[in-house]
């Protein structure tokens, strides 16, 4: 169970609106006119758009060691 008061006090956004908006925007970009994305390239686009690129690569490097 999520402790909503603690997370709200810490300043976390607990609503789903921002996640839903991101999914809608990203889906529109991936499914744009004449765009064809395969899974690896779509994954890269999602990681880049989410701002998690550095975290992703740090994890990949840690797993490779």
Is residue 11 a part of any domain in this protein?
A: no
More confident site: 5 or 2:
5
pTM over 0.75: no
Asked whether residue 2 carries a pLDDT value surpassing 80, the answer given is no
Is residue 21 a part of any domain in this protein?
A: no
CA angle 39, 42, 45 (to 5 degrees): 155
Token pair for residue 53?
A: 């690129």
Is residue 27 a part of any domain in this protein?
A: no
Number of domains in the chain: 1
Query: What's the CA gap between 60 and 58, in Å, rounded?
Result: 5
Is residue 65 a part of any domain in this protein?
A: yes
What pLDDT does 21 receive?
86
pLDDT tens, position by position, 4-51: 889 889 988 778 887 888 888 878 777 777 777 778 778 887 888 788
Name the residue among 32, 58, 30, 33 with its Cα closest to residue 44.
30
What pLDDT does 37 receive?
77
């Amino acid at each position: 169970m999520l402790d909503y008061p603690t997370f709200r006090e810490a300043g976390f956004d607990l609503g789903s609106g921002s996640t839903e908006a991101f999914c809608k925007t990203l889906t529109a970009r991936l499914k744009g006119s004449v765009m064809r994305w395969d899974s690896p390239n779509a994954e890269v686009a999602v990681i880049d758009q989410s701002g998690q690129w550095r975290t992703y690569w740090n994890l990949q490097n840690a797993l490779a060691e």
